[in-house]
Amino acid sequence: MASIDFNKIPRFKDLPIKKGAPPESSWGVFGDDDEFGCLNFLTAEGVVEAARLVKKGRVFRLDTPINYAKPPLFNRSAARHTILSFEEFGLLGHDDSIDNYNTQEGSQWDGLAHVGHVRHRAFYNGVKDDQVKDGPSGKLGIHKWANRVVGRGVLIDVRKYTQEQGRSIDPFSSATYPLKDLQAALAAQKTKLKPGSILLVRTGWLGAYLTASDAQKKAMAPLEALKSCGIESTSELVGWLWDNRVAAIGTDCPAVEQWPWDFKDERSLHYRALSMLGLPLGEQFVLDELATDCASDKSYEFMVVSVPMNLEGGIASPPNAVAIK
Ligand code: UVW
């Protein structure tokens, strides 16, 4: 990780800085060949500061177990886990084999090659489809993040905040949490964003999913049937994330924004965040236990260590993440 002069990063209102780049894009800010986008906000100094937040030695796993969703959402396939025996060698022991594994079957970071802009037909920083599909040497591969997603985590428990206001939303509807609720929840928690935060937002979706019946889970899994809450997708929302130098945003709902989102609508958050700003999106993160702990010690900041898969040229990854307090 390199150092960064945060004062030299343009404000959202001044984007784009590169001639010909799409409006509200950060293309060129970190160099024309940059593949990290907002992860550039995570610095070596930020890692050291984040480590100072570790006070009581509690560790919270942020990933769902593989195959937690039965069946996986969005028509994604389930992994097949087989335990292979060493018996034929006269040895007592085993290996694993995981077949048919989709890196987005559960908790996941969407890498920057996951979704390109619908009209500009380009990924972050103008990367084209053929540059992504170059295999291990392709651009925007997830393996490049393998040692990059470490820093100060901040939880916004907007689910708890809105429940306490007596206006909770149905996680199984396409309702959205507006920016003003995220900001108000943050203020109520007495937490501040600092440059280089990994922002986690608890919407309540995953907790609701886990208590649903098998039949409900089966019914909601297909792309066409799923309805899920999310956070709003507006210029104001992404401008606030950018101007606060948020490095990545993870939520406990399936798509960060509501589902369904409209693939044809360039105002959708997947385009605004992944393609325009290079801002990683995290989905189906496990946040409830962390949220309970944050509420009990009134501290909503912690160290996040996320080590995406070292899959050369990969598109996405389970976060393999822990929050440490
Ligand atoms: C879609 O939004 C379709 O995919 P995901 O959010 O899992 O990246």
Nearest atom (ligand 1) to Cα of 270? 2
Ligand 1 pocket residue status of 257, Cβ below 6 Å:
no
pTM above 0.85, yes or no: yes
Q: What is the pLDDT of residue 3?
A: 83
Distance 61 CA to ligand 1 centre (A): 22
Q: Please list, in sequence order, all residues whose beta carbon lies within 8 angstroms of the beta carbon of residue 186, skipping any fewer than 6 positions away.
A: 154, 156, 192, 193
Between CA 50 and CA 78, with CA 36 as vertex, the angle to 5 degrees is 90
Ligand 1 pocket residue status of 104, Cβ below 6 Å:
yes
Provide the percentage of residues in the chain whose pLDDT is more than 70. 100
Nearest atom (ligand 1) to Cα of 104? 7
- The residue whose CA has the least distance to atom 1 of ligand 1 is 255
3-state secondary structure of 321: strand
Choosing from 73, 74, 107, 263 the residue with most ligand 1 atoms within 8 A of its CB, the one to mutate for a pocket test is 74
pLDDT single digits (tens) 234-248? 999 999 999 999 999
Domain ranges of the chain: 10-324
Q: What is the pLDDT of residue 293?
A: 98
Distance 255 CA to ligand 1 centre (A): 5
pLDDT single digits (tens) 15-39? 999 999 999 999 999 999 999 999 9
Q: What is the pLDDT of residue 135?
A: 78
CA-to-CA distance for 324 and 150, rounded, in angstroms? Answer: 11
Out of 2.160.20.10, 3.50.30.50, 2.160.10.10, 3.50.50.60, the CATH code matching 10-324 is 3.50.30.50
Q: What is the pLDDT of residue 217?
A: 97
Joined tokens for residue 28: 């060129």
Contact 302, 323 (CB under 8 A): yes
Q: What is the DSSP string of 84-118?
A: EE-GGGT---EEEEEES--TTSSSEEEPTTS---T
Nearest atom (ligand 1) to Cα of 259? 2
CA-to-CA distance for 11 and 242, rounded, in angstroms? Answer: 8
Largest CA distance in the chain: 68
Q: What is the pLDDT of residue 255?
A: 98
CA-to-CA distance for 138 and 201, rounded, in angstroms? Answer: 31
Q: Which amino acid, residue 48? A: V
Joined tokens for residue 168: 């909770």
Bridging pattern class, strands 248-251 and 197-201: parallel
pLDDT single digits (tens) 105-146? 999 999 999 999 999 999 999 999 999 987 788 899 999 998
